[in-house]
Amino acid sequence: MADKPDLLQRPRRFYKAAVAGPAQGEGGGFAVLLDGRTPKSPAKSPLVLPTLALAELVAAEWEAQVEVIDSAAMPATRLAFTAIDRIRETRAEVAREVAAYAGSDLLCYWADHPTALVERQKRDWGGMLDWAKAELGLALQPVSGIIHSPQPPSALASVEALALTMDDFALAGVAYGAGLLGSTVLALALRAGALTGRRALDLSRLEEIFQAEAWGQDAEAATRAENLAGEAEVLERWFAALRR
């Protein structure tokens, strides 16, 4: 049987084993090793991670490849490449992106009806805003309705300053999580281990879940939700590996 066209466009697996181990050189860290050799990022930097657990997470994706290397099935590897190639060169810009997500954080826009949805948002979203204030000193203000309401500049400055304290790999994860979830607060809670990936995604989809409970969910929406849950769970493992 001939190879499918999409398979022909992907590089074939060229190594027998993918493992993690100490990186060679002065920088330290832990490398992904393909038959003892470290692969390079698109910008030609070695695939070296700050913790052994994170290197093992990424190496497991390489080991899971069969005939071809499917980058779409390697989210932790893609995130590592982002941290290595982009974050170290554009830290200030990425920190501003994280603050911008906080400026329109999903958790700050509560419905004004129906009552059951409002009460759930106040309980679940309000609880996360309380967590951010108590644990991180971030005081974001919720409003009712979808009209944009600016957050206090001091709060956004705090978010940006917090982002700049993170290493490249944590900052890459928070920036990715803020985009995935529509919420810097949820991304920061996921980084801290205060939420699972699944719970963070469910909170980001609170209104959608509420509507599905009332009217049912179609198959396409359910498939999309599962795909997003997979991404959120990888991000949970990413942050857990960074903490080890």
Give the DSSP letter of residue 21: E
Residue 5 is predicted with a pLDDT of 42
Residue 96 has pLDDT above 60, yes or no: yes
Residue 160 is predicted with a pLDDT of 98
Q: Is 152 left (phi over 0), alpha (psi -120 to 50) or beta?
A: beta
As a whole number, the mean pLDDT across the chain is 93
Residue 56 has pLDDT above 50, yes or no: yes
Lowest mean pLDDT among 13-17, 103-107, 146-150, 240-244: 146-150
Q: What percent of the chain has pLDDT over 70?
A: 96
- For the chain, the straight-line distance linking the first and the last C-alpha, in angstroms and rounded, comes to 45
242, 169 in Cβ contact below 8 A? Answer: yes
Give backbone dihedrals phi and psi of 25, rounded to 5 degrees, phi first: 110, 180
pLDDT tens digits, 189-227? 999 999 999 999 999 999 999 999 888 878 888 888 899
Residue 6 is predicted with a pLDDT of 54
CA–CA distance, 77 with 238 (Å, rounded to integer)? 10
Residue 45 is predicted with a pLDDT of 95
Domains defined for the chain, CATH in brackets: 5-74 (3.30.2180.10), 88-243 (1.10.3580.10)
Walk across the sheet containing 48-49 and list its strands: 18-22, 30-34, 48-49
Give backbone dihedrals phi and psi of 99, rounded to 5 degrees, phi first: -65, -35
Place of tokens 């400055």: 157
- Confidence bin at 8 (pLDDT 50/70/90): low
CA–CA distance, 114 with 154 (Å, rounded to integer)? 33
105, 128 in Cβ contact below 8 A? Answer: no
153: preceding bond cis by omega (within 30 degrees):
no
198, 225 in Cβ contact below 8 A? Answer: no
Residue 219 is predicted with a pLDDT of 82
169, 82 in Cβ contact below 8 A? Answer: no
pLDDT tens digits, 170-196? 999 999 999 999 999 999 999 999 999
Residue 61 has pLDDT above 80, yes or no: yes
pTM tops 0.85, yes or no: yes
